[in-house]
Amino acid sequence: MFADILGSGTLEALFPNGISRYAIGGLLVGAATALIYYGTGIAAGASTFLESSLSYVSGQSRFQQYRGSRDWRVVFTVGIIAGAAIYAFVYQGEAWALAGSAWLTEVQPWRLFFGGILVGIGTRVGKGCTSGHGICGVGSVSRTSLVGVATFLLVAIVTANLVAAAGVSP
Amino acid sequence: MPLVLVGGLVFGFGLGFSHMARPEVVIDFLTFEDFGLLFVMFGGSIVAGIAFWILPKLSDSAPLTGKPYGRRLKSFDRNVLVGGSIFGVGWGLSGICPGAAYASLGVGNWPILYALGGMFLGAYAQGVWRSRQTETTTAVPSDD
């Protein structure tokens, strides 16, 4: 139906890998968030783990404020790692294939590292990441989160296009 | 705790399934090569949104913790814009966000350790800096 409206080839151009993997993956992420919320009342986001885990090794007040939640955040993160490993094992027949895996990123280490530093600073200063703001906050129709998502999405689009225009690839 | 583990497993499985655990997929999305990631964000937030909307109407508090059901609301201030912009530059540069980075480690993408190391370093730097800044004011723990 959509293909008729948009003209043939449009859908393939917009979604070269189809939409099912994205839609099913998104529904699972949402279902996981809903399940944790149902049982515990917690709106689980991923990025506080970065700070709460530092409370194990640092006495800084900024990290110590998360002492109460740091244990379940470790469990949540271990779950995410293990869940993704199960996916890779079931669908690719391999997890932890250290060489030759399609999963190994070719994005250059300096991009990952410096980007990672900015992600670490930005998500914590900005009160949330793609899961905290993007899934839980948007799901809560929080105006703060909607503005937060719009901000990081827009800046990320500009950044990624500038990097690509500068000829950096991958 | 077992429920959080199961939730984490499904969360990570979903991120693997959606291929969002691959920086290339995120960068393709941000450079308009493949809009599929929209379905991950909307699909996820709609399902979560239904839970955040219905559950508080059915019950006052969560069965396992007794914690009252509430929406995820954060106060708005300049930090949301400043932090969001810094995060945006980092996400656009690296193609990876925290949850997807954990999942990426799970599928065996070991170079993502560069990004995870950077994230901890960044989180530590802002934490040290802000601990000094806000010794006077009381900080409110958050759930992200």
- Which chain B residues are within 8 Å of A161, Cβ to Cβ? 30-31
The whole domain housing B110 covers: 2-133
Q: Contact, A109 vs B114, CB < 8 A?
A: yes
Q: How far is CA A62 from the centre of its chain?
A: 23
Residues 6+ apart with CB under 8 A from B33: A16
Residue of A nearest to B63 (CA): A39
B35 and A15 within 8 Å at the Cβ level: the answer is: yes
Distance (Å, rounded) from C-alpha B43 to C-alpha B48? 9
Q: Is residue B109 part of a domain?
A: yes
Residue B142 or residue B72, greater confidence:
B72
Query: Which residues does residue B68 pair with via DSSP β-bridges, in sequence order?
Result: B61
pLDDT band at B1 (very low <50, low <70, confident <90, very high): confident
Give yes or no for B41 touching A (CB within 8 A): yes
In this structure, how many other beta carbons lie within 10 angstroms of the beta carbon of residue B32? 11
pLDDT-derived band at B135, boundaries 50, 70, 90: low
Q: How far out from the chain centre does Cα B3 lie?
A: 19
A132 neighbors B72 (Cβ within 8 angstroms)? yes
Q: Which two tokens stand for residue B68?
A: 């009252």
Chain A residues in contact with B105 (beta carbon < 8 A): 81, 84
Q: Write out chain A residues lying below 8 Å of B78, CB-based.
A: none
| Residue among A100, A46, A50, A70 nearest B103 (CA) | A46
Q: Who has greater pLDDT, A88 or B40? A: B40
Residue B144 lies in a domain: no
What number of other Cβ atoms are within 10 A of residue A5's Cβ?
A: 7
Q: What is the DSSP letter of B68?
A: B
How large is the C-alpha radius of gyration of chain A? 19
- Closest Cβ opposite residue B48 in set A34, A84, A164: A34
Question: Which of A38-42, A132-136, B140-144 is least confident?
Answer: B140-144
List the single residue in A with minimal CA-CA distance to B114.
A113
Q: Once rounded to an integer, what is the mean pLDDT over residues B122-133?
A: 90
B positions 63-122 inside 8 Å of A (CB):
63-76, 79-112, 114-122
- Residue B142 confidence (pLDDT): 58
Please give the pLDDT value at position A98.
44
Q: Residue B102 domain-assigned?
A: yes
Q: Inspect the interface and report whether the beta carbons of A101 and B108 lie closer than 8 Å.
A: yes
Q: Do B22 and A94 touch (CB under 8 A)?
A: no
The verdict on B19 touching A (C-beta cutoff 8 Å) is yes
Contact B8 A47 (CB under 8 A): no
Residue B127: inside a domain, yes or no?
Answer: yes
Residue type present at position B44? G
For residue B117 the two structure tokens come to 């190391």
Which residue blocks in B18-61 are alpha helix, DSSP H? 23-30, 37-58
Residues of A in contact with B135 (CB under 8 A): 61
Give the 3-state DSSP-derived string for A115-151, with helices as H, strands as E and coil as C.
Answer: HHHHHHHHHHHCCCCCCHHHHHHHHCCCHHHHHHHHH
B102 with A159: Cβ contact below 8 A: no
Q: Does residue B9 have a pLDDT over 80?
A: yes
pTM (2 d.p.): 0.90
- Identify the three-state secondary structure at position B61: strand
Q: Is B114 exposed, middle or buried (0-12, 13-18, 19+ CB in 10 A)?
A: buried
Query: Residue A99: what pLDDT?
Result: 45
Q: How far apart are CA B122 and CA A50, in angstroms?
A: 9
d(CA B103, nearest CA chain A) in Å: 5
Q: Where are the domains of chain A?
A: 105-170
Distance CA A136, CA B48 (A): 6
Cβ separation of A66 and B141 shorter than 8 Å? Answer: yes
Inter-residue contact B14 to A27 (CB < 8 Å): yes
- Give the C-alpha separation, B32 to B38, whole Å: 11
* Partner residue facing B99 (CB), from A17, A46, A104: A46
pLDDT at A90: 84
Q: Indicate yes or no: CB of A68 within 8 angstroms of CB of B82.
A: no
Question: Within a domain: residue B45?
Answer: yes
The pair of structure tokens assigned to A81 is: 């790692």
ipTM, interface predicted TM-score of the complex: 0.90
Of A128-142, B59-73, B130-144, the range with the lowest mean pLDDT is B130-144
DSSP letter at A17 equals T
Which of A116, A154, A150, A121 lies closest to A134, judged by CA?
Answer: A150
The domain tally of chain B equals: 1
**By the CB < 8 Å criterion, does A17 face chain B?**
yes
- Asked if A55 reaches chain B (Cβ–Cβ under 8 Å), the answer is no
Tracing tokens 């929209």 back to the chain, one arrives at B38
Q: How many CB atoms lie within 10 A of CB A147?
A: 16
ω before A170 within 30° of 0 (cis)? yes
Whether B26 is covered by a domain: the verdict is yes
